[in-house]
Structure 1
Amino acid sequence: MIDAHHHLWDPTRRDYPWLAGAALDPIRRPYTVDDLRAVTHAAGVHATVLVQTLSDQGETEEFLATAAAEPVIAGVVGWVDLTAPDVADRLARLKELGPLVGIRHQVENEPDPEWLLRPDVLRGLAAVGAAGLVYDLLVAPTQVAAARKVAEQLPELRLVLDHAAKPAIAAGEWQPWADGIASLGARDNVACKLSGLVTEADWQQWQIGHLRRYADHVFTSFGADRVLFGSDWPVCELAAAYEVVLDAAVSLTGPLTDPERLDVFEYTAKRVYGLG
C-alpha cells in the first residue's frame, strides 16, 4: 500500500502562513519522520510520497535528504520557482539530491484564477515535463478550467490533481466542481488523488456517506487506473486520525473490483510517479 500524499513540518524552525488561525491549533506542532514511521507502520503502508508545504526550495532540498535516508519515503513532490529563467537547471540539481518525482505550487493561494496560464509559468511547467517529473495541481474549483487548459497545451506533462480539487463537501456544493472534475478526467495526462476529502467535510460531523458522492464522481471521471490514495496526513488530523482516513478510503473503494482497488492503493502511484 502506498500513501501518495503526506507532509512533514516543524513550526519551531519555519513559518507556515497557511497554519495561521486558531482552527489549526491542533496540528501546529512538529511532525517528524518518527511520527510518519509510527502511523504508516500501524496502517500497513509500505511507501509514501512526501509533498511540499512551502514555496521554498530549501524545504525541498531538506525533504530530498530526508527521503534519501528514510526507506518509507519513496518520492518527494517538491517546489521550485517555475518562473525562474534557470528553472531547468534548478530541477536538474534537485534531482541529483534525492528521489524527486514531482513539483507543486500552492496555486489555490494565487489571486489570479489563470495563474497557471501565464507564459512564464507555462514555460516552467514545460520544463517540469521535460525533466520527466510530474506536476501536482493544488487548485480550487474556480481554477480547474485553467488546469484543464494546461493539460491540453502540455499533453506531454503528467498532472496529478491534489485532493480532487477540494470540493465544498461541508456545504454540500456540487457544481461547478463536478463539471470541472469531468473535464479534467477527460484528459489522459491527468490523474487524481483520493485525498483531503475529510477536511473538506464537516470536521466534527462527517460520515462516509457525505464523501461517497464525490468519490464516486472521481472514479467515474478518471477510472481507477488514474486515481491514487493519499492520506494528506497530518492535515487530516483536523478531522480524522491516519487509520480512520485509510479506512474511509477503503470503504469508498468498496464498489470497485479487486484489481481496481490495487490501482488506487498502489499501482497508480507507481505508474504516475515512477516509484520503484
Structure 2
Amino acid sequence: MTVDAHVHLWNRATDPQPWIDPRTMAAIDRDFSYADLVRMLDETGTSSAVVVQAGNRMAETVRLLDDPGRRIAGVVGWIDLTADVDAQLGMLAAGARQSLVGLRHLVHVDPDPDWLARPDVGAALDELGRRGLCFDLVLRSWQLPLAAKVAEARPGTRFVLDHLGGIAETTDDDAWATGLRVLAAHPHVYAKVSGLAGLVNDPERLRRIIGVAVEAFGPDRLMYGSDWPMARLGAGPVPWREAVDEMIAGLSAGERHAITSRTARTCYRLSS
C-alpha cells in the first residue's frame, strides 16, 4: 500500500487558479477531479493520496474536506493563521467527510517575506502542534534558513518541507544543500520528494538532489509525492514515479517502503 503525499484537486468555478497561464501551462489548464486522481493513482500504482491546498482560501479547504473520495487519505488545507485558529478549525470539522491532517500557507508567494516569523503565526504553529496537525512548508530555497529558525523554536510541531525546498527553481545547488541540511537537523521536520518531475530529463542532477535529501533526512523522514497535476508540466506522474523508484532502488526494502508509504502515514497520522 503506497501513498502519494502531495496531489491537488481544483474546480476553478469555485476555486479560481489565476496563476495558471493557459499558454505556458496548457497541460493543467483545466479542472482536476477525484475521478482524474483515481486514474493517476492507478497509473502510478499508488493506493491513496494526501490532497494539498492550492490557494490560500478557506472555501477550497471546505470543498476538499467534503469530497467523499475513498482514496483520499487526508487533506492539508488552509486557514488564516493570523486569525482565530480555534474558530476556524471548529468550522472545518463540522460535517467534514475527510480528515484534516495538516495546514499550509503559500509562503513562497506571500507579499511578506518574513511571514513565517510573525509572532501570531508562531502562536498558531504552536497550536497546530498541540492538536497533532502538521504544517507544510512551501517556500523558495533562500527561505530555508528562516524555516530552520522557525522549526527550532517550535519542537512540538511537525513540519513538512514540500518539493525539497524549491530546488527545481534554483541553480545554486550548493546553497540549497546547505540550507536543507540545517533544516533537516531538526528531527520534527520531514520532507517530500516532490515537485521535481521537470528534472527527470537531468538524471545526474536529480540523483545528486535525492542523494542529498536521503543523507540529510533519512528514509524515515522522506516521503514520495507526485505534485500532480503539476507533474504534467514536467515528465508526467508516471515517469516521475518511475524515476523515484529508480533513484531509491539501492536502498533496503524497508527504506523504500518508508519513502513510498510509511513516512507519510506516520507524519500525517493517516488511517487509510
The aligned counterpart of 2:114 is 114
Match for 1:258: what amino acid? A
Alpha-carbon separation, structure 2, partners of 1:191 and 1:173: 22
* Aligned equivalent of 1:232: 227
1:238 CA drift (Å): 0.5
**Aligned-partner residue type, residue 92 of structure 1:** G
- CA distance in 2 between counterparts of 1:242 and 1:32 reads 16
Per mean C-alpha deviation after superposition, the further-off stretch among 13-22 and 211-220 is 13-22
- Equivalenced residue count is 268
For the pair 1:256 / 2:255, whether they are aligned, the reply is no
Partner AA of 2:121 in structure 1: V
* Residue 87 of structure 1, CA deviation: 1.1
Which secondary structure state, in structure 1, belongs to the residue aligned with residue 31 of structure 2? coil
Report the CA distance between 1:164 and its aligned residue. 0.1
Distance in 1 between residues matched to 2:168 and 2:70, nearest whole Å: 36
Displacement after TM superposition at 1:22 (Å): 2.5
Matches within 5 A, 1:161-180: 161-168=161-168, 172-180=171-179
**Bigger mean CA offset, 70-79 vs 23-32:** 23-32
| Matched AA of 1:15 | P
1:153 shift after superposition: 0.7
Moved more, 72-81 or 234-243: 234-243
Aligned to 1:75: 74
> In structure 2, what is the equivalent of residue 247 of structure 1?
242
- Separation in 2 of the partners of 1:208 and 1:94? 42
Within 2, Cα distance between the matches of 1:258 and 1:15? 42
Mapping for residues 116-195 of structure 1, pairs under 5 Å: 116-168=116-168, 172-195=171-194
Shift of residue 248 of structure 1? 1.0
TM-score, normalization: structure 2? Answer: 0.94
The answer to whether structure 1 residue 272 and structure 2 residue 267 are counterparts is yes
Deviations 1:21-44 (A, max 9, x none): 631122110111111111112322
> In the TM superposition, what are the counterparts of 1:188-203 in structure 2 within 5 Å?
188-199=187-198, 201=199
TM-superposed CA distance for 1:12, in Å, is: 4.0
Three-state SS of the structure 1 residue aligned to 2:6 is strand
Residue in 1 aligned with 2:105?
105
Q: 1:168 Cα shift?
A: 4.1
Across the aligned residues of Structure 1 and Structure 2, the Cα RMSD in angstroms comes to 1.6
Note if contact 1:195-1:231 (Cα within 8 Å) is conserved in structure 2.
yes
SS at the partner of 2:24? helix
Alpha-carbon distance in 2 for matches of 1:150, 1:92: 26
Taking structure 1 as the reference length, the TM-score comes to: 0.92
Deviations 1:78-133 (A, max 9, x none): 0000000x112212332342300000000000243321011111122112212210
Q: Tell me the amino acid that sits aligned with residue 158 of structure 1.
A: R
Matched residue SS, 1:143: helix
Deviation string 1:38-68 (CA, Å, 9 cap, x unpaired) is: 11123221111000001111110110011xx
d(CA) in 2 for partners of 1:20, 1:39: 23
**Structure 1 residues 19 and 269, CA, compared in 2 at 3 Å: closer, same or farther?**
same
Post-superposition Cα deviations, 1:213-243, rounded to whole Å, max 9, x if no partner, equal 1110000000000000000000000112221
Distance in 2 (alpha carbons) for counterparts of 1:190 and 1:2: 19
Unaligned runs of 5+ in 2: none
In 2, distance between residues paired with 1:83 and 1:230?
Answer: 28
Structure 2: which amino acid aligns with 1:135?
F
> Could you say which residue in structure 1 is the equivalent of 2:51?
50
| CA contact 2:163–2:193 (8 Å) conserved in 1 | yes
